[in-house]
Homo-oligomer: A and B are copies of this chain.
């Protein structure tokens, strides 16, 4: 099987690694606008060959793992080139605009809209990890618009690398993911900014930071190249989550100002049951750690 990875960074590179490990007879071709990334990906064994856009005609599977604004331009072009038996899927964190963009493309049935809930705060080929997708959710949108045989082919591969599948329409996807992913990134970036600004006047402030702080601002290391277009495409939903978040923070501040610490207590206690929610996520991580023998 000839697999083409368009965008050989963290996500594309990890997908290639898993495919090579779990699926037999896979030959991986890399396409990237950065020649340096391509070289790195080749040296690290993520891809077997460097390739050009024209080569996509011989692809059996294309995996698009590039910033979501670039996908809007690139996906139609990829569909123009691929053959009838090739399935094209992607990893973008927004789905509504991309699905709209190709809605009337003559090769729409070759595309399967995907969003793997997997990643780290790092980027580039050197950040690629084997097993990144194991036990992670792949959200598939508009499955009904993909040709049966190509649905099957893609799902077999997702299954082989250990992903679980959830189906969703693109509009719901973008609204939900604004809450459980996009907002977290903004809260992290702004927390980091607040503390960095303070440090200009108060030296050594980070010398006092512990693992709690590190955990909360981890996402502030994420790539602005990747995240700016996500916020642009999902502007309406993200602004709604931001409004609710700011309103909750203001309310907490008002309770403190009024010395209403009984309510401050209640606010925290009511949120504590997030434990149960997070246990599910952490359990998946633990399963993976157990299995890797780490």
Interface string of A93-131 (1 = CB under 8 A from B): 000000000000000000000000111010000000000
By a CB distance below 8 angstroms, the chain B residues around A259 are 232, 235
**Majority secondary structure of chain A interface residues (helix, strand, loop or mixed):** helix
A285 to B: closest C-beta gap in Å = 6
Is B271 touching A189 in the complex (CB atoms < 8 A)? yes
In the complex, whether A241 has a CB less than 8 A from a CB of chain B is yes
Is B220 touching A271 in the complex (CB atoms < 8 A)? yes
* Given A222-B268, A224-B265, A212 and B278 contact (CB-CB distance below 8 Å): no
Is A179 touching B195 in the complex (CB atoms < 8 A)? yes
* Given A180-B208, A231-B256, A194 and B245 contact (CB-CB distance below 8 Å): yes
In the complex, whether A290 has a CB less than 8 A from a CB of chain B is no
By a CB distance below 8 angstroms, the chain B residues around A241 are 194, 198
Is B211 touching A281 in the complex (CB atoms < 8 A)? yes
Which single residue of chain B is at the shortest CB-CB distance from A243? B253
Q: Which residues of A from 236 to 264 have beta carbons under 8 Å from B?
A: 238-239, 241-246, 248-250, 252-253, 256-257, 259, 261, 264
In the complex, whether A151 has a CB less than 8 A from a CB of chain B is no
In the complex, whether A141 has a CB less than 8 A from a CB of chain B is no
A136, A189, A204, A253: most-surrounded residue (chain B CB, <10 A): A189
By a CB distance below 8 angstroms, the chain B residues around A25 are none
By a CB distance below 8 angstroms, the chain B residues around A261 are 228-229, 231-232
